[in-house]
Amino acid sequence: MRNIIFFLPFFVISFSWAADWPTYQHDYSRSGVAGESLLTPFNEKWVHKSKHEPRPAWRGEAKWDGYNKVYDMKSRQVFDYAYHTVIANGLLYFGSSADDKIYCLDAASGKERWVFFTEGPVRLAPTIADGRVFVGSDDGNAYCLDAVTGKLIWKSRLGPKDYRIPGNGRIISRWPLRTGIVVIDDLAYCAAGMFPAEGIFISAIDVRNGKIQWQQKQGDLPAQGYLLASHTRLYVPAGRNNPVVLNRSDGKRVRVVKGQGGTYALLTGDSLVFGPGKTGTLGFVEPNKSDQLASFKGNHMIVTSEMSYLQGDTHLSALDRSRYLDLARKRSSLQSRQKGLSEKLKKLKPTSNSERKILQKQLTELGQAIDRVTAEMGQCFPWKVNCDQPLSMILAGKTLITGGHNSIAAFDASRGEKLWSGKADGDVFGLAAANGRLYVSTNRGIIHCFEAKRLIK
């Protein structure tokens, strides 16, 4: 069996990758949970300064939505605001949206090992599996490279032809690859395409030779943001739109979930958390459902067996997620009954006064019950603390690490106590932890490497 990482509600299934960080947010559930504990304080060991800052595909959301009266809108497409790093076997890798290259550095020293050129911006982090680098480019190709030498093993075009167009001030494929690549067993999963009318091609590629094993075309939603995978499903973020759920075996669509859109997503089993929508809200969708069961005010979430953690614009909080969701299910059931009674009340004849009074009483009691459950849901937060870092978050053991504007911080996950803070050159959109080190990526093309005081595996 090849290297596989999934994140389930209570544990990580991992073969040989525990201390590495071989894909974006550590695993294909995009959990952001490291396979080791890092203890503070952190000391800066090296800094890598790219010649060019990242050039994001999308420069941010509109400031307001006049039709829906939504102001201070969140950007829903921030997947390429920094050079996100992945780390495996003592080497660090990242792609550049500015100079179209894939870089390999020594993870301990920051010294450059090799560089590989593609023909378009590389917007999402590579995936490392079986001694190979898998990465996609805006040139429309998926690449497989030798992880040690950078030598090309194969490349595979996902779109129907090699057709180039102007895009983001560059020349790119009409079908750029902006989903990252998920590698499980002998298949590499990815998708290409930006304009639904031109076709979006979701593909499974044989990792041995680059040949496409199956491909599904969709014409209604784009594919932008890191793919996620469970044991049976693929989850495809769709930019500002809502994610698409597919069968992993053949790529056939299962459903499109409902929500406010966004490229940020994580899995707990086959439950999906995604957002941030227009207002910084994360939606929670249960397995085999399309509607949201609950929503959480925040930008990012970390899920563990004991607790979940929410990162907002100004606060960091712990959430008893299991209790919260039980209450959310109870509230949803009450709201469904409330809706049914309201519809029944509307249809009553004017002469049905006695029945009207009964329904009105029942609706009042249901409203009070909903208020009580909502109040209980508000008590599912063991702690909440001020946090000036709203842009990124990971967990290493019992240490929560957050990234913000020119700063990073570490918090005790059990109490919320701030343990350490440090400076970074730019806005910290990327964090990774591997082999006793913390890697910090900013929107200025800077990668900081910090070494932990002590490491517990």
Co-location of 183 and 309 in the same domain: yes
- Strand 253-256 relative to strand 264-268, pairing: unpaired
pLDDT of residue 431: 99
Co-location of 113 and 260 in the same domain: yes
Quote the tokens at residue 161.
Answer: 């032809």
> By the 8 A CB rule, do 444 and 426 touch?
yes
Could you give the angle at the alpha carbon of 240 between the alpha carbons of 237 and 244, nearest 5°? 30
- Among 358, 377, 396, the domain boundary falls at 377
Co-location of 121 and 200 in the same domain: yes
Q: How far apart are CA 405 and CA 453, in angstroms?
A: 24
Co-location of 348 and 413 in the same domain: no
Quote the tokens at residue 344.
Answer: 């029944």
Neighbours of 89 (CB within 10 A): 14
Nearest to 135, CA basis, from 78, 185, 205: 205
Range of the domain at 348: 324-377
Co-location of 416 and 346 in the same domain: no
Co-location of 19 and 130 in the same domain: yes
- Strand 446-456 relative to strand 405-412, pairing: unpaired
Which residues pair with residue 275 across a beta bridge?
264
Report DSSP letters for 379-413, one per residue: T--S-EEE-S--SEEEEETTEEEEE-EEEEEEEET
What CATH number did the domain enclosing 167 receive?
A: 2.130.10.10
Q: How far is CA 339 from CA 289, 331, 367, in A?
A: 20, 12, 11
3 state SS of 346:
helix
- Among 355, 377, 399, the domain boundary falls at 377
**Single pTM value for the model:** 0.89
> By the 8 A CB rule, do 398 and 361 touch?
no
Nearest to 319, CA basis, from 331, 332, 301: 301
Co-location of 122 and 190 in the same domain: yes
pLDDT of residue 322: 83
Co-location of 328 and 446 in the same domain: no
Co-location of 223 and 94 in the same domain: yes
Alpha-carbon dihedral angle through residues 190, 223, 34, 411, given to the nearest 10 degrees: 170
Nearest to 387, CA basis, from 357, 351, 413, 426: 413
Q: How far apart are CA 303 and CA 314, in angstroms?
A: 20
Q: How far apart are CA 95 and CA 26, in angstroms?
A: 16
Co-location of 165 and 250 in the same domain: yes
Co-location of 124 and 241 in the same domain: yes
The segments of the chain whose pLDDT lies below 50 read 1-17, 66-67, 71
Report DSSP letters for 264-319, one per residue: EEEEETTEEEEE-TTTTEEEEE-TT--S-SEEEESSEEEE-SS-EEEE-SSEEEEE
Nearest to 412, CA basis, from 436, 382, 380, 435: 382
- H or E element: which one contains 328? helix 321-346
Supply the DSSP symbol for 21. Answer: B
Q: How far apart are CA 387 and CA 313, in angstroms?
A: 8
- Taken as a whole, the chain contains a residue count of 457
Nearest to 38, CA basis, from 416, 315, 427, 400: 400
Neighbours of 119 (CB within 10 A): 16
Co-location of 282 and 238 in the same domain: yes
- Among 344, 359, 377, the domain boundary falls at 377
Q: How far apart are CA 287 and CA 294, in angstroms?
A: 13
Instruction: Provide the domain count of the chain.
Output: 2
> By the 8 A CB rule, do 227 and 27 touch?
no
Q: How far apart are CA 190 and CA 66, in angstroms?
A: 36
Phi, psi of 90, deg, nearest 5: 80, 5
Please tell me whether the peptide bond between 9 and the residue prior to it is cis, using omega within 30 degrees of 0: no
pLDDT of residue 317: 97
